[in-house]
Amino acid sequence: MSEADEPAAPPASLLERLRADPVRAPEHVALAAADAFGPPAATWAHRQRNVMGLHPIAMGEMARKRHANLASAEGAAAGIGGIVTIVPDLVALAWLQSRMVFFIAGAYGWDPRDPMRPAELLALTGLYSDPAGARRALDGAAEVSVAEHWVGSKLQRDEALASKLLKMVGKSGAKKVAGKLIPGFAIAFSAVSNRRDTNRLGKRAVDFYGQSVRPELPPR
């Protein structure tokens, strides 16, 4: 799965946007992910389906497992820094998980470039009850003005940002956060928890996009 072997790091401009508007961090991640991952996910899905001849179920599992492995490796690397790297780690994990969802959607014949894909991503994370509500929030985030941006210190912005991203990537509870803050232990903890959380989201995406797949149906 060449397109998923070396995922690009989150752009520096995204982190700046997240710190400027941390309350809507998940929406900004989803919008940026749609621009970055929609086209390559569509290209990958087309090749796997029409050149390699793979079945959607095999493609979906390939995307889920590969991104879970990548999330584990990312967590181990970020865990070295403890509290210093928690925000960049969460951004990187949210970015990687978002990428996975676009690839899984493509695997099951859904167009990764469709504007509903980022909305479905947010609904799959549990941040919204349905894609329609998420799409309305995305439209609002895209129109946010500088005047509406968060006012506060860097520490306050990072705390607000971390809170939002923890929910997006499936991490909640003091124990999950505390484990990431202990140098040394955080390496193994982050690797295991990142894999688990990414697998959980991946299985939800597989269930959602694969629910109507039939071998005889053409791609949507």
55 band by pLDDT with thresholds 50, 70 and 90: very high
Model confidence at 150: pLDDT above 80:
no
Dump pLDDT digits (tens) for 95-125: 999 999 999 999 999 999 999 999 999 999 9
CB 190 within 8 A of CB 204: no
pLDDT for the residue numbered 178: 45
Model confidence at 167: pLDDT above 60:
yes
Secondary structure (3-state) at 202 = helix
pLDDT mean over 199-214? 90
pLDDT mean over 138-159? 71
pLDDT mean over 167-191? 58
Model confidence at 218: pLDDT above 90:
no
pLDDT for the residue numbered 148: 56
Percent above pLDDT 90 for the chain: 55
Q: Answer with the residue of higher pLDDT: 220 or 68.
A: 68
Q: What is the 3-state secondary structure (H, E, C) of 115-156?
A: CHHHHHHHHHCCCCCCHHHHHHHHHHHHCCCHHHCCCCCHHH
Rounded distance between C-alpha atoms, residue 63 and residue 58, angstroms: 9
pLDDT mean over 52-69? 95
pLDDT for the residue numbered 175: 44
| Across 47-51, 78-82, 109-113, 194-198, least confident range | 78-82
